[in-house]
Amino acid sequence: MKILRTPDKCFVDLEGFPFEPHYTTIYTSDGSELRIHHVDEGPLTGPIVLCMHGEPAWSYIYRKMIPLLTAAGLRVIAPDLPGFGKSDKPANLEDYSYQNQVDWMNAWLLANNLRGMTFFGQDWGGAIGLRMVADHPDRFDRVVVSNTGLLLPPEDASEEEIRAVEALMASSRTPTLIEMGRALQGMTGGSKLLKFATWQKFAWETIDFPVGILMYFGTSHGSRLSNAINLGLHKLGLGKIARSPVVKAYEAPYPDVSYKMGARAMPRCVPLLPGDPSTDAQLKAWSVFEAFEKPFLCAFSDDDPITATQADEFKKRVPGAKAQPHTTISGGGHFVQEKAPEELSKAIIEFIRSTSSR
């Protein structure tokens, strides 16, 4: 396996990220060495919160939450998924799959021998991390999730929808950034399958995948009009996007486009059509959670169209989610760690305190 490693100099002077790096080397199925980075902050004897990021972020997304959680006496461990952040980056499309990410992160978990944890995950961090919890439930005391899911291909997809997705994927035309954004914003209505497939196709076929710009708009508190103006100015080489510390930080892991394969590939790994290779493993994980009685909390945003239905799925199917103080975070967006770090941190802290004696 060809593996790339981002030079340390790319991460110098990132705003709000003074944390020391920690590295663990694991081995892939073909025997290649893969170095995985994580942040480890707070008292070594404190209760551990394992915080896992999603697409296309990295542990930088937890920089606002880490001081809040550690001030409450918690130890925060935040890894970077392979292909992201300071972790090594397999260079080829075929290296990335849902199962490979689960296998790599399980190996990292066992190598660090972590136990007694509270798991928190958002987006792919939740999808991968929940599989880790299902594989090693004895290592986790409780679970908190936000804007994520343990997804299966939709059972109610019509033949018409499936054909439309297949036609989109076969098309020689790549959706534009604006078309992709409109599709995701419209996920609450119409064919969700086709709209999410638009994101998948955009991500994979955009060679210089605009990670920094996506995170800038995904974490912005600006209106759609102001964001549109800023994007227009950026295309003209003007405006504040290029000067943004958020753009700099989220582009830092990628000194050139060859490093972006993980960020481009992972959206295509979301189970979307019947026959997806992750289906059997997902069903097995759900069987674990349908008997999971440890405390399980949902802290979803009220304005994330991508995962709008997933909180109810957890509340309905996970025994440990019954009668918990589930919270809905107002205006948290998809990247709730960026837009509502105080509310999310408070929910995690209070949940750990209220369930520690159970």
Neighbours of 166 (CB within 10 A): 12
Residue 334 appears among annotated catalytic residues: yes
pLDDT of residue 97: 96
Question: With bands split at pLDDT 50, 70 and 90, how would you rate the model's confidence at 149?
Answer: very high
Can you give the pLDDT at residue 203?
Answer: 95
Active site residue 123: yes
Instruction: Answer for the pair 76, 42: CB distance below 8 angstroms, yes or no.
Output: yes
- Condensed to tens digits (0 to 9), the pLDDT of residues 97-144 reads 999 999 999 999 999 999 999 999 999 999 999 999 999 999 999 999
pLDDT score of 238: 42
Q: What integer pLDDT is reported at residue 186 of this predicted model?
A: 74
Catalytic residue among 88, 95, 135, 304: 304
State how far the Cα of 165 lies from the Cα of 191, in Å rounded to an integer.
Answer: 10
Residue 341, both tokens:
């770090």
Identify the band that residue 219 occupies on the pLDDT scale cut at 50, 70 and 90.
confident
Question: What's 202-213 look like in SS3?
Answer: HHHHCCCCCHHH
Pairing verdict, β 140-146 and 296-301: parallel
Contact 42, 75 (CB under 8 A): yes
pTM of structure: 0.93
Peptide bond into 56 cis (omega under 30): yes
Residue in 337, 261, 268, 264 with CA at minimum distance from that of residue 6: 261
Q: With 90 as the cut, is the pLDDT of residue 260 above it?
A: yes
Domains, the chain, ordered by start? 3-153+275-355 (3.40.50.1820), 159-269 (no CATH)
pLDDT at 241 over 90: no
Active site residue 280: no
Residue 36: its pLDDT value, please? 98
**How confident is residue 188, by pLDDT bands cut at 50, 70 and 90?**
low
Among residues 37, 38, 234, 334, the one annotated as catalytic is: 334
Query: What's the confidence (pLDDT) of residue 242?
Result: 67
The catalytic position among 123, 135, 141, 234 is 123
Q: How many CB atoms lie within 10 A of CB 39?
A: 24
What confidence score (pLDDT) does residue 225 get?
43
Q: What is the pLDDT of residues 5-46, one digit of tens each?
A: 999 999 999 999 999 999 999 999 999 999 999 999 999 999
